[in-house]
Amino acid sequence: MIKLALSSLLNRKNVLILIFLSLTLSVTLFLGVQRTKEISRSSFSRTISGTDLIIGARTGQVNLILYSVFHMGRAVNNMGYDSYLDLASRDEVEWAVPLSLGDSYRGYRVVGTTNDYFSHYSYGGNQKLSLKSGDTFSTPFSVVLGASVADEFQHKTGDNIIVSHGAGLNGMNEHDNLPFTVTAVLEKTGTPVDKSVFVPLEGITAIHLGWETGMQRRVVSQEQALSVNLEPEAVTSVLVGLKNRGAAFAFQRMVNDYADEPLMAILPGAALYELWGLMSTAETALTFISAAVVVLGLISLLTAQLAVMNQRRREMALFRSLGATPGQLFLLLFTESLLLTTAGCLSGMILLYIIQTLLSVFMSSSGFYLSPALPSATEWLYFLLTLVSGTLTGVIPALTAYRNSLSDGMSIRN
Amino acid sequence: MIQLENVRFTWKEGETLINIPELIVSRGEKVMLRGESGCGKTTLLTLISGIQTVDSGVLKVDDIELKTLKSSKRDKFRGDHMGYIFQQFNLIPWLSIQKNILCSTTFSTLKKEREKESLDTRVEMLMAELKLDRLKDKPVRELSLGQQQRVALARALVGHPPLIIADEPTSSLDSGNRSSFMNLLVKECEKEGSTLFVVSHDSHIDDHFDRIIDFHHLNGGHND
């Protein structure tokens, strides 16, 4: 029966190859949307781990996590350096790393921080950052490069770089009076760290000497800069690790009620959860559209099967004369649809893996974590859902054949 | 081989289409049932082949009373005991000639078992006998009507069914093809010892049969 179904399918291969392709592509799209969703979530989730709280000026919690960890968007306000020092000295705090954002290097974000960043920041299940070469900050004008940045501009330790004020798009606001020297390059992490340029907080203060009005009023030399107090007045946000995670809520409340200035503390997990909520509308729309494409694929399969049904009534009558029961004819047609749907689903899955493998090779510097993994439970569910609905679609032409053969018997219609 | 007694059958209520007091075809006999088209001959064939069952009376094929079998058993019985040739469109367009011939055994294991030689050898022998061997690799769509009917004959013969039924087998053929096809049909049935039951309105082929039955004399039913 399977042989018979196969040769029947092969006979109509021109039409069926197109349907097979549309099934393959729709399944790839459908599963691809799911996978993109999962990849973006896991990429976000694995970027920050081990940090219990993020503290910054009052803003939305999604906004705060986006600019301080994912380097998306910008801070509206800074928080006082005093507040950082005060909070960092609390008993509950194990470590606190300040971040100062706002400058850039050739389109990549410059992150002002301290050496603590390299020892405390962790990602993807408590992996620590590690240095590919060189050493962390030794002077206010040291710079540590993320792997992608070093890669793109072929920088190595000892190179001098010049950072720009703000996003640095017009090339007018270069901090070219104070170059930084590369002291280290980080190992690849698959997180936004790869696309960051780290400098000491003092360096950030130094390059802004003479910029107090937002424009460069006077040019400061390196010697002059080093001769003044480079302690910053403000930082953008602070990553905090607590001694006891259980204290996170209490500490968060304390920060939110901080008397000296309006601050907020967020739990990264809760902020991410809110982020998923924001993304879910778009995700639902995409899922819906891709599911609709699958349905269209199945309808085209159905159309192709039903369009030739009249012509196939002759075949059915012949098979009846050879002793086929209507049930066997049902099975024949059903097997045909089943073979086609299964082939389409499987090749869709395979195509998805091919695309993902290619992407993971070509986009390894994107900061997205794309390595192909086995299908997740949800993906299997969607895969089975497609397979089952395809199979159910196949019942329709099969039932038609069954009914035709009951009414036609062996009379051959022209 | 075929035995009918007081058989009545109707499609619509009130119109008795088939009303046959008696018809007996013996084993090995070659019988032609003659009648105009549309007079109910094909309906009689659907009864003999077990697609439909009689409303009343007795219809036995190979001593089995068909109406006692469930419909799927009748389908199997037809597959096992009969070879069937249609007027035209006898072939599955997407199968090769060989596969079309072997189709008989797809739905009948008994036919497969009856073949002592391997099926492939048997198909080759039949194709040689029916002068189809030169056409081996041709798609069935490209066969002439006469060639198509010969393939249909080969398929009907595979598995040595005791009864060969043909419904207007020659009416789509020209006169030359007609007589050569009938010669082959009769020769093969005699060789196999199969009973041949042909319905046709074609009087040119009378000579090939042991007995000609006029459907109008046989059938007391009406078709208005």
Q: How confident is the model at residue B224 (pLDDT cuts 50, 70, 90)?
A: very low
B78 with A321: Cβ contact below 8 A:
yes
pLDDT tens-digit profile of B18-70? 888 889 999 989 999 988 877 788 888 889 999 888 899 999 999 988 989 99
Beta pairing class for B211-214 and B30-34: parallel
CB atoms within 10 A of CB A211: 15
CA–CA dist B106, B123 (Å, integer): 14
**What pLDDT, on the 0 to 100 scale, is given for residue A49?**
81
Q: Which residue of A has its CA nearest to B73?
A: A325
Domains in chain B: boundaries: 2-218
CB atoms within 10 A of CB B90: 25
Q: How confident is the model at residue B222 (pLDDT cuts 50, 70, 90)?
A: low
End-to-end CA distance of chain B: 31
* Architecture of the structural domain at B2-218: 3-Layer(aba) Sandwich (3.40)
DSSP A165: S
**What pLDDT, on the 0 to 100 scale, is given for residue A168?**
61
A411 with B71: Cβ contact below 8 A:
no
A323 with B86: Cβ contact below 8 A:
no
**What pLDDT, on the 0 to 100 scale, is given for residue A213?**
65
Q: From the centroid of its chain, how far is CA A106?
A: 23
Question: What is the b/e burial string over A46-55, where b = at least 16 CB atoms within 10 angstroms of the residue's CB?
Answer: bbbbbbbbbb
B94 with A318: Cβ contact below 8 A:
no
Which positions in chain B touch A320 (Cβ < 8 Å)?
51, 75
CB atoms within 10 A of CB A34: 22
The torsion angles phi and psi of B164, rounded to 5 degrees, stand at: -110, 125
> Contacts by A155-162 with C-beta closer than 8 Å and gap 24+?
A155/A182, A155/A185, A156/A182, A156/A185, A157/A133, A157/A182, A157/A183, A157/A184, A157/A185, A158/A182, A161/A105, A161/A197, A162/A105
CB distance A360 to A372 below 8 Å: yes
pLDDT tens-digit profile of A34-48? 888 888 888 788 888
CB distance B86 to A412 below 8 Å: yes
Q: How many helices (H) and strands (E) does chain B have?
A: 8, 9
Which positions in chain B touch A409 (Cβ < 8 Å)?
46, 51-52
**What pLDDT, on the 0 to 100 scale, is given for residue B143?**
87
Q: Is the pLDDT of residue B223 over 60?
A: no
End-to-end CA distance of chain A: 25
pLDDT tens-digit profile of B165-195? 998 888 888 888 888 889 989 998 998 899 9
Q: Output the average pLDDT for chain B.
A: 87
Residues of chain A with pLDDT below 50 are none
pLDDT tens-digit profile of B119-164? 888 888 888 888 888 888 888 888 888 889 999 999 999 988 999 9
A314 with B89: Cβ contact below 8 A:
yes
Which amino acid is present at A261?
E
Q: Does A324 touch chain B (CB under 8 A)?
A: yes
Which positions in chain B touch A321 (Cβ < 8 Å)?
49, 78, 84, 86
Q: Retrieve residue A209's tokens.
A: 């000497």
Helix (H) or strand (E) segment spanning residue B119: helix B119-129
Which positions in chain A touch B77 (Cβ < 8 Å)?
323
pLDDT tens-digit profile of A267-321? 998 898 888 888 888 888 988 998 898 899 889 888 888 888 887 888 888 888 8
DSSP B49: T
